[in-house]
Amino acid sequence: MELQCKVQNYEWGKLGQNSTVAKLVASADSSVSIDNAKPYAELWMGTHTNGPSIIIERDIPLSEYLKTNLDAVGPDVRKKFDVLVPFLLKVLSVRKALSVQAHPTKEHAEQLHKTFPDLYKDPNHKPELAIALTPFEGLCGFRPISEIKDFIINLPELQQILSEDVVNPILTSRNDDNTKLLKDIFHSLMSCDKNKIVNGLESLLNRLQTEEPSTQSSLLYPLLNRLHSDYPGDVGCWAPYFMNYMQLMPGQAIFLKPNLPHAYLSGDCIECMACSDNVVRAGLTPKHIDVATLVDMLDYNSYHPSEMLFNPQIEDPNSCIWRPPVPDFAVVKIRVEPGDSYNTIVRPSPSIMIIISGSGEACDTEPISIRPGVVIFLKASRQLTLTSTENYIEAYQAICNV
């Protein structure tokens, strides 16, 4: 069954035809008119109440259909998650940075929702998988302490905004993985006086703009300047000196487990997560920030960028799968060459598939004409036949990882 899905026009999204989200939506529905002055940030595919998908041929929400068609969910998923699609599949088109953030564990999410229901509106956790469709930038996980130390040594402006009590232990540390040191120094940064943050950023930018290109590159001046242009004087502009700066190529992925600090910076990606909108923020955002909660909950282990990459497993000649260590979701990438057909693997869960490129036909019982942007819901334990007529078909299929 073909779905009509919700576009979110968040301010950080790419504008008009520069957005992969906009291009996919317009390709799927020729009646859609794209406004090149408007941001098209996210395409939501699933049953989340903030952006529910509609079954086109029945003109009803997918969530309503599932209530009277339990076979579509399947017994394994019903036993674990009740009658719903337990994941949310998205396409993101990022023009400027999203917030420095993390997502709580299931237990913490329930506690936050109970205590602050107006701020944390649902009790579910939100582990995420992001798969790059275009070159994609993000911050992910804390850097090794040795790298943070080098930045502190080479950036006196950073030293000056941090408490001496936390700088000295970092500078004398020989341990590259000390969670207490990381927590202390990040807390010092995030709780720093606003004026000191603003003045420190201005001083650093003024100094770096006159440095040699090699020095600017090693001290992340291009990224700092971009963040400051979008969020002037924001404490989150300092985050790249503490977190790994990831530059993903198409097909590379990161898995954002609970409590892992991160921020998407630019590019287009497929994103899949537990069915939740639970975020704790502390910078690079006009939305509510909760420094105390974020600082207390974060994963303060150090990671190398290579540890942040999350690799798929080959399932057959046409498909590979990213299987995160959570039951809520996994994502399958499917490729069908021109003139070929492919029968999808039968899964015990419902699935949602989006066509990213190519054209042809998808058939379970009735054929659907497919092209970029078409979104399909497939019942549990059913098989879809994809036939490519022009170019190769590339599709992403979200499933439940039961």
Catalytic site positions: 281
Do the annotations mark residue 128 as ligand-binding?
yes
Do the annotations mark residue 262 as ligand-binding?
yes
CA distance 397 to 402: 15
Residue 312 pairs in a beta bridge with none
Ranges of beta strands (E only) in 62-100 are 87-94
The three-state secondary structure class of 251 is coil
For residue 214, how many C-alpha atoms fall within 13 Å in the half-sphere facing its CB? Answer: 0
Ranges of beta strands (E only) in 103-201 are 128-132, 136-142
Alpha-carbon Rg for the chain, nearest whole angstrom, is: 22
CA distance 360 to 381: 23
Nearest partner of 327 among 91, 25, 76, judged by Cα: 76
CB 257 within 8 A of CB 73: no
Ranges of beta strands (E only) in 178-261 are 243-248, 253-256
Residue 40 pairs in a beta bridge with 14
The token duo for 281 is 């923020």
Q: Counting every residue, how long is the chain?
A: 402
The token duo for 199 is 């003045």
Pairing of strands 351-363, 2-4: unpaired
The token duo for 330 is 């996994």
Nearest partner of 282 among 290, 293, 274, judged by Cα: 290
Max CA separation in the chain (angstroms): 68
Give residues with Cβ within 8 angstroms of 11, minimum separation 6.
39, 41, 286
- Residues marked as binding for Zn(2+)? 101, 103, 128, 262
